[in-house]
Amino acid sequence: MKPSANQSVDPRTQMASSNGHAVSNVSQSDSKLELFGFDSLVNILGLKSMAGEQAQAPSSPRDEDVEIAIGFPKETEPKQGTLMGVFIPCLQNILGIIYYIRFTWIVGMGGIWQSLVLVAFCGACTFLTGLSLSAIATNGAMKGGGPYYLIGRALGPEVGISIGLCFFLGNAVAGAMYVLGAVETFLDAIPSAGFFQETVTVVNNTLGNGTTKSATTISTPSLHDLQIYGVIVTILLCFIVFGGVKIINKVAPAFLVPVLFSILCIYIGVSIAPEPGAPKGITGLSIVTLAENWSSEYQPTNNAGVPDPNGSIYWDFNALLGLFFPAVTGIMAGSNRSASLKDTQRSIPIGTLSATLSTTLMYLLSVFLFGALATREELLTDRLLAATIAWPGPAVIYIGIILSTLGAALQSLTGAPRLLAAIANDDILPILNCFKAYEGSEPHVATLFTSFICIACVVIGNLDLITPTITMFFLLCYAGVNLSCFLLDLLDAPSWRPRWKIHHWVLSLIGASQCIVIMFMISWTFTVVSLALASLIYYYVSLKGKAGDWGDGFKSAYFQLALRSLRSLGANNVHPKNWYPIPLIFCRPWGKLPENVPCHPKLADFAKCMKKKGRGMSIFVSIIDGDYHESAEEANTAYRQLSAYIDYKHCEGVAEIIVARSISDGFRSIVQIMGLGNLKPNIVVMRYPEIWRRENLITQIPSSFISIINDCIIANKAIVIVKGLDEWPNEYQRLYGTIDLYWIVRDGGLMLLLSQLLLARNGFESCKIQVFCIAEEGTEAEELKADVKKYLYDLRMQAEVIVVTMKSMEAHSEISPNAKKDPQEEYTSAQDRIRAYLSQTKETAQREGRPLMEDGRQVVVNEEKVEKFLYTMLKLNTTIVKYSMMAAVVLVSLPPPPLNHPAYCYMEYMDMLVVNVPRILIVRGYKRDVVTLFT
């Protein structure tokens, strides 16, 4: 229905129709939905989004534009399926240099049965990690960053960045490992290409009786040749990477065919071995050879891995574990390509787990084949046994090894910079801003940095020293994935609904534990270093990183822990030993502040004094006068300002904004409903209304002030009223002197506790505590002093006790020279003002023919009591000025408002109490003790 020309148009309708023309697109058949055009949600989603295009909310902290396609859909690149998108990339990354040039050596060193245990152990680790990866990957849409994205969104940005950076280092170092493997294979195939002389090692084969049977001469490439060729190859690969993704996508698939063909040639060669001219150590598939190689035979080797009785490297099962584990890594390749998959939630589980199982079965089969093929001597000395036995000749294997390792190195040098750029693009760690890469651009800076790391590792030149380092970083990443799934599975939040969930959280815990165990089995040193590095990054991110709410599992864990703690605490009163102040800070009830300052700065400083070593929680509340429907946007703005101000002042509190028709109504709502269980505010802290005498406030503030105090008394809340807030010290100021307590009524020890909290702050640490008690007679004074001293001693408090008798208070005392106002003159002025106010209100009531009313209740004026109350405040103030004029701060008990007395009279009493005292806290406890004598 269109409004007529003379009708006003609802602004919500204008917003809905102008934002994407959502309302106008509704067909006649959908006319029943036109009513929803007035809903503000149309501005966010649009009426079409529910049926077609889904508007995905941006994931914090990235600011990603959310668009709803209306009309023609966007053209996208062809998506890949499970085979080409996940299975083949994982297979290509898993099958690498270790299988070609180290696997036969591992079988010879560890024997068949330990090699089977080794492969099964590593395969189980990656399979369990694949299950956890599948569960997390199918719980929602994935974006760039691979495992970093998964771990960060599950365990938080600190854990995600710390493990993500370690995973980046692992990929960068893995690139160096693949380069060295390719160069070593090339130099073994063409020894004349080396610039330096080869290293020659003579290995003596010893029989069981100790006699030497024969000696074998083994030549290995020079370390300097590995370094020179390795640096050259790395630079060439970096030029390809700098060429962009299009070139890489064209080159990378060409590396897969040689890998598969070379493995096929190896199996053909095993089945037809031994061929004419083959080394004597190659016996062909033989049961006898299988039995001889069944057990392990660990030997010392030189740096090149060649057995040497005088070698400096000693091998055992743990060392083999560190050497072999990189051969099973690569299961993250599919998750890294999630953006280009047709069906992420189907392809990643099937492709990843299929690649893991197929390669594990291939490794297990290869253990039996290699163990039954050649003697132990041949397995340990022929570094390229796979090439020796391959059909039709070694050249096929050499080409396959070189191409496969260069392809894997290219993938590492391509993936690592993009991982670093993804971490930088999340804008959590400012120090990584230089590695950012905007959408559509290549991460050139991150690529250059990765190249430097890869070249540095290539210069080391020792493959067996590099692989344990890679193992630690990959295991740390796998442990993070398992822990992420374990936490999400254990918490079982409503949003945790993975499509692929065939396991329990116990399996995730087993997978994480297995990763940690493997790390320690390989090397305590490398494990401690890697964990220390991740911890340092975590600590640095927590200190320097920007806040980002990713809805991680730790937040859910904290939430459930908080709920469980609340249920365990119940709603009963807290024992004094476990009592913590939870102050409710009234931000702006009285007094004008600049518009950009939502809370008095000194009130925020005082809120910090209510905590001991930062423990506790403060609730900052501001009340906005008005109607909630009309002031909702103003309240949201005020909430954001107050929250930002609390963070700026480091108060460690929460903000609350209440919209009410008056301050009294707003506070009455707060005091009844705010909090949960025992986590309710127990102390109300507010500023003393020193501006209440202004003409426009003289009828408003007294009644609101009295109402707040009475509500606190009824709700059993303690009260702390701060007078002289402008004189309160900030965190950099120091006060000297005393903290004086005028302990008049029983308050559960709150005044004593506040003095101890003040003493713990830097601003008051040089002060001493004095406790003033009021007694009737002189004999009673001594007993009272002894009792209070004993009580303070049992409370572990050091304080001087001073007893003031009523007789001394009645005696006339001289005015302190530091007093700015004469108390007697203030007393006389207060009397005159009270008489004038009462006279005026009585005349008004008589003229209107009604009883004396105030805020809807009848008040009783007893001038004799009014005079008595005012005189009591005069004597108390005179005593305070006499003893505590130079005190750092004074604490005095708050007198409750007399029933049915005018609010104006109570304000005069309070003014009489605080005159001439620069800093004073007026305190009222509640029915429970907050301190205890007992342990």
- Mean pLDDT score across all residues of the chain: 79
Residue 243 three-state SS? coil
Helices 223-242, 157-189: axis angle to 10 degrees equals 120
Query: What are the tens digits of pLDDT across the range 167-180?
Result: 888 888 888 888 88
pLDDT band at 739 (very low <50, low <70, confident <90, very high): very high
Closest CA to 424 of 166, 62, 849, 32: 62
- Whole-number Å distance between alpha carbons of 335 and 331: 8
Q: How would you classify the pairing of strands 199-206 and 212-220?
A: antiparallel
Contacts of residue 559, defined as CB under 8 A and 6 or more positions apart, other chains included, come to: none
Range 358-370 average pLDDT:
92
Closest CA to 451 of 57, 742, 36, 173: 173
Under DSSP, the state recorded for 61 is T
φ/ψ of residue 648, rounded to 5: -65, -35
Under DSSP, the state recorded for 676 is B
Query: What are the tens digits of pLDDT across the range 468-483?
Result: 767 788 898 899 888 8
- Whole-number Å distance between alpha carbons of 259 and 256: 5
- Whole-number Å distance between alpha carbons of 685 and 583: 6
pLDDT band at 150 (very low <50, low <70, confident <90, very high): confident
Q: Which two tokens stand for residue 611?
A: 């905590």
Cβ atoms of 456 and 576 closer than 8 Å: no
pLDDT band at 764 (very low <50, low <70, confident <90, very high): confident
- Whole-number Å distance between alpha carbons of 219 and 188: 9
**Structure confidence at residue 419 (pLDDT):** 83
The residue that leads in pLDDT, 723 or 342, is 723
Residue 773 three-state SS? strand
- Whole-number Å distance between alpha carbons of 892 and 890: 6
Residue 6: Cβ within 10 Å count: 5
Cβ atoms of 458 and 173 closer than 8 Å: no
- Whole-number Å distance between alpha carbons of 32 and 358: 56
- Whole-number Å distance between alpha carbons of 488 and 478: 16
pLDDT band at 440 (very low <50, low <70, confident <90, very high): low
**Structure confidence at residue 27 (pLDDT):** 42
Closest CA to 501 of 351, 492, 555: 492
Count of all residues that appear for the chain in the document: 935
- Whole-number Å distance between alpha carbons of 488 and 508: 10
**Structure confidence at residue 93 (pLDDT):** 77
The residue that leads in pLDDT, 153 or 10, is 153
The widest CA-to-CA distance across the chain, in whole angstroms, is 131
Q: How would you classify the pairing of strands 618-625 and 683-687?
A: unpaired
- CA 790 distance to own-chain centroid: 48
Residue with structure tokens 């009963």? 572
Domains and CATH numbers, the chain: 96-197+219-544 (1.20.1740.10), 573-723 (3.40.50.620), 737-811+821-934 (no CATH)
Contacts of residue 902, defined as CB under 8 A and 6 or more positions apart, other chains included, come to: 837, 838, 841, 854, 859, 861
- Whole-number Å distance between alpha carbons of 708 and 715: 10
DSSP 455-505: HHHHHH--HHHHHHHHHHHHHHHHHHHHHHHHHHHHH--TT---S---S-H
Q: Which two tokens stand for residue 737?
A: 């002197």
Element housing 646 (H / E): helix 628-649
Cβ atoms of 581 and 622 closer than 8 Å: no
The residue that leads in pLDDT, 656 or 579, is 656
Under DSSP, the state recorded for 326 is G
Determine the Cα angle at 408 with ends 403 and 409, to 5°.
95
pLDDT band at 435 (very low <50, low <70, confident <90, very high): confident
Highest average pLDDT, of 208-217, 842-851, 868-877, comes from 868-877
- Whole-number Å distance between alpha carbons of 373 and 270: 7
Q: How would you classify the pairing of strands 718-723 and 920-924?
A: antiparallel
Highest average pLDDT, of 461-465, 501-505, 710-714, comes from 710-714
End-to-end CA distance of the chain: 75
Range 548-577 average pLDDT:
71
DSSP 106-156: HHHHHHHHHHHHHHHHHHHHHHHHHHHHHHHHTTS---TTTHHHHHHHHH-
- Predicted structure pTM score: 0.66
**Structure confidence at residue 792 (pLDDT):** 85
Under DSSP, the state recorded for 575 is P
CA distances from 800 to 233, 609, 740, 767, 788 (A): 81, 22, 10, 12, 10
Contacts of residue 466, defined as CB under 8 A and 6 or more positions apart, other chains included, come to: 173, 176, 177, 180, 457, 460
Residue with structure tokens 């005593």? 879
φ/ψ of residue 264, rounded to 5: -60, -40
Query: What are the tens digits of pLDDT across the range 607-650?
Result: 888 776 656 778 899 888 888 888 888 889 889 988 888 888 88
Range 486-500 average pLDDT:
75
The residue that leads in pLDDT, 138 or 219, is 138
Determine the Cα angle at 631 with ends 625 and 634, to 5°.
100
Contacts of residue 71, defined as CB under 8 A and 6 or more positions apart, other chains included, come to: none
Query: What are the tens digits of pLDDT across the range 445-457?
Result: 888 999 998 998 8
Amino acid at 639: Y
The residue that leads in pLDDT, 866 or 78, is 866
φ/ψ of residue 702, rounded to 5: -55, -45
- Whole-number Å distance between alpha carbons of 741 and 767: 13
Cβ atoms of 487 and 151 closer than 8 Å: no
